[in-house]
Amino acid sequence: MRQHRRTLRLLGSLLLVAMAASVTGAAPAPAASPTPLDRVIPAPASVTPGGSPYRITRGTHIRVDGSRETRDVGEYLAKILRPSTGYRLPVTAQGAGGIRLRLAEGPFGAEGYRLDSGRGGVTITAAKPAGLFHGVQTLRQLLPAAVEKDSVQPGPWLVAGGTITDTPRYGWRGAMLDVSRHFFTVEQVKRYIDQLALYKINKLHLHLSDDQGWRIAIDSWPRLATYGGSTEVGGGPGGFYTKADYREIVRYASSRHLEVVPEIDMPGHTNAALASYADLNCDGVAPPLYTGTEVGFSSLCAGKDITYDFVDDVIRELAALTPGRYLHIGGDEAHSTSHEDYVKFMDRVQPIVAKYGKTVVGWHQLTGATPAKGALAQYWGLDGTSAEEKARVVKAAQNGTGLILSPADRVYLDMKYTKETPLGLSWAGYVEVKRSYDWDPGAYLPGVPGGAVRGVEAPMWSETLENSEHVEFMAFPRLPGVAELGWSSAASHDWERYKGRLAAQAERWNVLGIEWYRSPQVPWGAGGG
Ligand code: ACM
């Protein structure tokens, strides 16, 4: 019996070795060899391997300084490591060695960090807690995927020796979730936030209103949520966030160092609001709720004063709920608003955003009006966008409008990968993994001054997406590539090398229960499929 158990245990470890070898997709490495420091996504700015690895053991402590924010990052790391290692991993301000998180002056900026690993410990140093948090994501990816499991695993828990010094290329590395076309619960949004954090995404743009649903409670206009939020594409029950729900999303995002950017899309994409309040319509007649997927048929009434009272109330309440700097006012596809009315509307609405202390973000059609000073325009055109439209965006950028790049035929995560993809849309074409990754935000729109590009964002429109599995299948494996475009230098950009690093992520997605698309463009190992 004893003998039999030992044999089983031996078989078990052999199996683990075999699995570890097969999922790397490369030459089988001994199970105990640590992940190379340059295997991380997004690619770090500088990697210097060398020296002995660090091994997390039963005796490892997570050392933090006295600050609350550093301790929070330490506790976050401990929560990831404890279930799989089975170790106590106390988070403490005492002693030396082990895993150390320290705030210090240095060339790290708001989000950069340095990670030093050797026999005596791993130290992550940053100027700000966000840098420590991003360094922890790097550490996480350097540990075996099994570290993500929620039951005790055999280890060993090795971190390769050497130094990583890392800062992001862009300050805006966003992901958008459309919670209007289909509603997503607070728990579903949190799940996505955790997936975004793993790749150092730092903005969560929530598309809170559209023709098919109004998703945020506004006390001064209660029917927006209770009636305007009562359905969704396909006629399902929809839903909305109470103010407490929204605050919980903001709090959770903040704990993962993401800033929430709320969007109220105006003056088009407003059928849910128009259906809720007849007075908002030019003709005073409320249209029915809408559960289809057409765009461009609705408009707030630019000529009525009540429109601006409404906008003022909504922006005031939303700004008060939102600690972040930005408020997105949409502005896309206003096909039922005359150009004159569009310009008038934007001229009146942008100062309201400023009045409540926020910076305007709008889809790039805002550049067809007069973007407020400091406003950001989110470019969602594609290769086929007219030269005239691109020229307007370039001119606005030359005049000081910052750009967030979300080209639809590159980073719209709701575009099908191929014509066989069961979910998603294809109006911007099919977007396989390589196409999504293989472009340079810094050179994308010729004529745009370098400093005008503030970063990239990957929108996820939800006409066809109803749950987390759907969102994940469209996000993975493209999302890590967008994250890398936002974080890593243009010089590090290399599809051939990237696809190998991407393949190595699959085992972690499997452990985390993330749905993903097995793109034939990526050399997944035998265990990745
Ligand atoms: C958009 O896709 N209408 C911004």
Q: For residue 308, give the amino acid letter.
A: Y
Is there an atom of ligand 1 within 6 Å of 333 CB? Answer: yes
Q: CA angle, 76 as apex, 328 and 118 as ends, to 5°?
A: 120
- What count of residues does the chain have? 529
Query: Per-residue pLDDT tens for 347-361?
Result: 999 999 999 999 999
Q: In this structure, what DSSP letter does residue 354 have?
A: H
Rounded distance from Cα 2 to ligand 1 centre (Å): 65
Confidence grade of residue 247 (pLDDT, cut at 50, 70, 90): very high
From 266, 393, 461, the mutation candidate for ligand 1 (largest count of ligand atoms within 8 A of CB) is 461
Per-residue pLDDT at 378 exceeds 70: yes
Residue whose CA lies nearest to ligand 1 atom number 1? 332
Per-residue pLDDT at 148 exceeds 80: yes
Superfamily of domain 172-528: Glycosidases (3.20.20.80)
Rounded distance from Cα 332 to ligand 1 centre (Å): 6
Q: For residue 228, give the amino acid letter.
A: G
Give percent above pLDDT 90 in the chain: 92
Is there an atom of ligand 1 within 6 Å of 476 CB? Answer: no
Is there an atom of ligand 1 within 6 Å of 240 CB? Answer: no
For the chain, give every domain's residue range: 37-166, 172-528
Instruction: Specify whether 248 is catalytic.
Output: no
DSSP string, 5-19: HHHHHHHHHHHHHHH
Is there an atom of ligand 1 within 6 Å of 466 CB? Answer: no
pLDDT at residue 528 in the model: 52
At 330, is the secondary structure helix, strand, or coil?
A: strand
224's CB contacts (< 8 A; 6+ apart) are 209, 214, 216, 217, 218, 272, 273, 276, 277, 314
Report the distance separating Cα 172 and Cα 487, nearest Å: 9
Per-residue pLDDT at 372 exceeds 90: yes
Confidence grade of residue 66 (pLDDT, cut at 50, 70, 90): confident
Is there an atom of ligand 1 within 6 Å of 341 CB? Answer: no
Catalytic-labelled residue, pool 69, 75, 248, 333: 333
Per-residue pLDDT at 291 exceeds 80: yes
Closest atom of ligand 1 to CA, residue 380: 4
Which pair of tokens denotes residue 131? Answer: 């840098």
pLDDT at residue 31 in the model: 52
pLDDT at residue 376 in the model: 98
| Greatest CA separation for the chain | 86
Rounded distance from Cα 269 to ligand 1 centre (Å): 10
Per-residue pLDDT at 238 exceeds 80: yes
Which pair of tokens denotes residue 525? Answer: 């190992």
286: how many CB neighbours lie within 10 A of its CB?
18
Per-residue pLDDT at 93 exceeds 90: yes
Residue whose CA lies nearest to ligand 1 atom number 3? 332
Closest atom of ligand 1 to CA, residue 295: 3
- Give yes or no for a contact between 371 and 404, defined as CB atoms under 8 angstroms apart: no
Closest atom of ligand 1 to CA, residue 408: 2
Confidence grade of residue 30 (pLDDT, cut at 50, 70, 90): very low
pLDDT at residue 95 in the model: 86
- Give yes or no for a contact between 396 and 367, defined as CB atoms under 8 angstroms apart: yes
Confidence grade of residue 190 (pLDDT, cut at 50, 70, 90): very high
From 212, 333, 426, the mutation candidate for ligand 1 (largest count of ligand atoms within 8 A of CB) is 333
pLDDT at residue 15 in the model: 37
Query: Per-residue pLDDT tens for 169-178?
Result: 999 999 999 9
Q: Sign of the CA dihedral 331, 337, 338, 340?
A: negative
pLDDT at residue 96 in the model: 87
The average pLDDT across 161-185 equals 98
Closest atom of ligand 1 to CA, residue 461: 2
453's CB contacts (< 8 A; 6+ apart) are 170, 397, 402, 403, 405, 441, 442, 444
Confidence grade of residue 41 (pLDDT, cut at 50, 70, 90): very high
Rounded distance from Cα 176 to ligand 1 centre (Å): 11
Q: What percent of the chain is helix, strand and coil (3-state, nearest 5)?
A: 40, 15, 45
Residue whose CA lies nearest to ligand 1 atom number 2? 380
From 266, 332, 361, the mutation candidate for ligand 1 (largest count of ligand atoms within 8 A of CB) is 332
Which pair of tokens denotes residue 107? Answer: 């060339």
pLDDT at residue 304 in the model: 98
Is there an atom of ligand 1 within 6 Å of 380 CB? Answer: yes
Is there an atom of ligand 1 within 6 Å of 332 CB? Answer: yes
CATH 3.30.379.10 fits 37-166, yes or no: yes
Measure CA 238 to chain center: 23
- Give yes or no for a contact between 384 and 410, defined as CB atoms under 8 angstroms apart: no
Report the distance separating Cα 227 and Cα 290, nearest Å: 12
Instruction: For residue 459, list its beta bridge partners.
Output: 176
The average pLDDT across 262-289 equals 98
pTM, 2 dp: 0.94
Report the distance separating Cα 153 and Cα 146, nearest Å: 7
The average pLDDT across 335-342 equals 98
Q: Establish whether the linkage from the previous residue to 83 is cis, with ω within 30° of 0.
A: no
Report the distance separating Cα 438 and Cα 496, nearest Å: 10
At 492, is the secondary structure helix, strand, or coil?
A: helix
Give percent above pLDDT 70 in the chain: 93
Rounded distance from Cα 312 to ligand 1 centre (Å): 23
pLDDT at residue 145 in the model: 98
